[in-house]
């Protein structure tokens, strides 16, 4: 399954990169202000840009650190004892890297009937709900608890560098996505376990980008409206939520993995308390003020905004909002949307790239 993230730009990333390349020179400093899965930020790094990535969510922070901040492969130097106690040699990997050994050791974590098992599997008895929740098979939920406990222990004993911790949490999130019993987001689980949820959870090492450029990239976590005042760059790419669906509510389980905590899980969906990550971009009456805060605070001449005809604001609203700040140029392109046969949605969707230049 990989990552099914609402609004992910993986399908139109080349168009976004081309547009950025038309506006700023090679090696320019680009901010990806709402980085989500960090797909765009990582591609920008590959293309030689200096990147600042930010998002509200903790899981995005770990994705961005994993993609931007490694100059050399991780050695997990301080985790020797854990690796030697838990690594089991595999025939087809005769000379494993330290990273492969660490992932192998984590995959051998002893299952625990802990928080994930109790709150998110059918064998559990959630504290704040009468009915068990079917997000994971009982075996996978207990395996997640075991891996979380080991990562937590490694952190407690200072056996992981901060970037190594981010990378392992990123890998745990990616592995968890592969076996989650959900239709798209973590807003709901399926009633019966679907095929992929019956597979055993397995972590895999990520394909890491490395290089000396790592030190030039910056990863932040915070409200775009606030962090903007800390950023000075050549262009700021903004890919905001288009609709009312709050990311914090739809990806609550990934946020819990990323934070490594055990929050109260509430109601049928087992939502964590998420209002501290509420986004104004999901509320039509608040979007304009949020955009104005970003534009007035950030030091940059160019903004490039992704938006869609499905969005809460019309394209005319956008022009009216941005025009007082500079010249506005709009690129429109149509792309095929995924929809089920019964869906009444149009099969084509118009996406916009809105360029604000205020030189």
Ligand X SMILES: C[S@@+](CC[C@H](N)C(=O)[O-])C[C@H]1O[C@@H](n2cnc3c(N)ncnc32)[C@H](O)[C@@H]1O
CB of 348 vs ligand X, minimal distance in Å: 19
CA distance 352 to 332: 5
Measured from the CB atom, the residue of 244 and 339 that comes closer to ligand X is: 244
Task: Single out the segment in contact with ligand X by CB under 6 A; choices: 100-108, 234-242, 308-316, 335-343.
Answer: 234-242
Contact range with ligand X by CB under 6 A, out of 50-58, 78-86, 252-260, 326-334: 50-58
Task: Note whether 129 binds ligand X by CB under 6 A.
Answer: no
223 binds ligand X (CB under 6 A): yes
CB atoms within 10 A of CB 80: 13
Q: Which is nearer to ligand X, 142 or 233 (CB)?
A: 233
144 neighbors 116 (Cβ within 8 angstroms): yes
To ligand X, the closest distance from the beta carbon of 78 in angstroms equals 31
Query: Is residue 274 at the binding interface for ligand X, with CB under 6 A as the rule?
Result: no
Residue 158's φ and ψ, nearest 5 degrees, are 55, 35
- Name the token pair of 344: 């009444």
Residue with Cβ nearer ligand X (67 or 146): 67
Candidates 24, 34, 220, 235; binder of ligand X (CB under 6 A) is 34
> Residues with Cβ < 8 Å from 236, sequence gap 6 or more?
30, 31, 33, 294, 298, 300, 302, 303, 304
- Binding of ligand X at residue 40 (CB under 6 A)? yes
Distance, first Cα to last Cα, the chain: 43
Q: In what order do the strands lie in the sheet with 235-238?
A: 218-221, 50-55, 29-32, 235-238, 302-308, 348-357, 327-336
For ligand X, how many residues bind (rule: CB under 6 A)? 24
**Which structure tokens are listed for 94?**
């005769």
Tell me how far, at minimum, the Cβ of 57 lies from ligand X, in Å: 4
**Is residue 29 classed as helix, strand or coil in its secondary structure?**
strand
- 66 belongs to the binding site for ligand X (CB under 6 A): no
Angle 136-4-15 (CA atoms, 0-180°, nearest 5)?
170
Can residue 7 be called a binding residue for ligand X (CB under 6 A)? yes
Of 61 and 87, nearer to ligand X (C-beta) is: 61
Question: Segment contacting ligand X (CB under 6 A): 143-151, 191-199, 221-229, 257-265?
Answer: 221-229
- Binding part of the chain for ligand X, among 92-100, 179-187, 195-203, 218-226 by CB under 6 A, reads 218-226
Is 51 a binding residue for ligand X by CB under 6 A? The answer is no
- Contact at 8 Å (CB) between 306 and 238? yes
Phi–psi pair at 152, nearest 5 degrees? -60, -40
Instruction: Check if the beta carbon of residue 220 is closer than 8 Å to that of residue 210.
Output: no
Rule CB under 6 A: choose which of 20, 29, 31, 37 binds ligand X.
37
Which residues lie near ligand X (CB under 6 A)? 5, 7-9, 34-37, 39-40, 55-57, 60, 223-225, 239-241, 247, 279-281
């Amino acid at each position: 399954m990989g990552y099914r993230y609402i609004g992910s730009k993986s399908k139109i990333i080349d168009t976004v990169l081309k547009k950025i390349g038309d506006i700023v020179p090679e090696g320019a400093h680009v901010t990806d202000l709402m980085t989500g899965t960090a797909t765009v930020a990582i591609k920008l790094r590959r293309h030689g840009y200096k990147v600042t990535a930010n998002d509200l969510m903790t899981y995005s922070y770990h994705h961005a650190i994993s993609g931007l901040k490694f100059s050399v492969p991780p050695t997990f130097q301080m985790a020797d004892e854990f690796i030697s106690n838990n690594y089991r040699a595999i025939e087809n990997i005769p000379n494993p890297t330290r990273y492969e050994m660490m992932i192998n050791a984590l995959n051998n974590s002893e299952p625990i009937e802990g928080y994930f098992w109790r709150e998110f599997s059918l064998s559990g008895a959630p504290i704040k709900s009468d009915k068990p929740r079917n997000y994971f098979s009982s075996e996978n939920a207990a395996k997640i608890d075991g891996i979380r406990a080991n990562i937590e222990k490694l952190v407690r004993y200072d056996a992981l560098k901060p970037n190594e911790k981010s990378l392992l949490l990123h890998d745990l999130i990616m592995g968890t996505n592969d076996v989650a019993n959900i239709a798209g987001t973590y807003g709901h689980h399926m009633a019966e376990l679907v095929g992929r949820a019956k597979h055993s959870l397995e972590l895999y090492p990520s394909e890491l980008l490395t290089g000396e450029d790592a030190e030039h990239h910056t990863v932040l976590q915070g409200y775009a409206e606030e962090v903007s005042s800390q950023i000075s760059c050549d262009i700021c790419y903004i890919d905001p939520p288009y609709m009312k669906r709050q990311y914090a509510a739809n990806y609550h389980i990934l946020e819990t993995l990323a934070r490594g905590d055990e929050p109260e899980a509430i109601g049928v969906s087992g939502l964590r308390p998420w209002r501290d990550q509420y986004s104004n971009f999901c509320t039509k009456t608040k979007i304009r003020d949020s955009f104005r805060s970003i534009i007035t605070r950030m030091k940059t001449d160019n903004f490039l905004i992704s938006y869609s005809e499905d969005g809460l604001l019309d394209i005319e609203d956008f022009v009216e909002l941005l025009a007082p700040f500079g010249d506005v140029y709009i690129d429109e392109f149509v792309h095929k949307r995924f929809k089920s046969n019964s869906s009444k949605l149009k099969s084509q969707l118009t996406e916009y790239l809105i360029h604000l230049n205020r030189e």
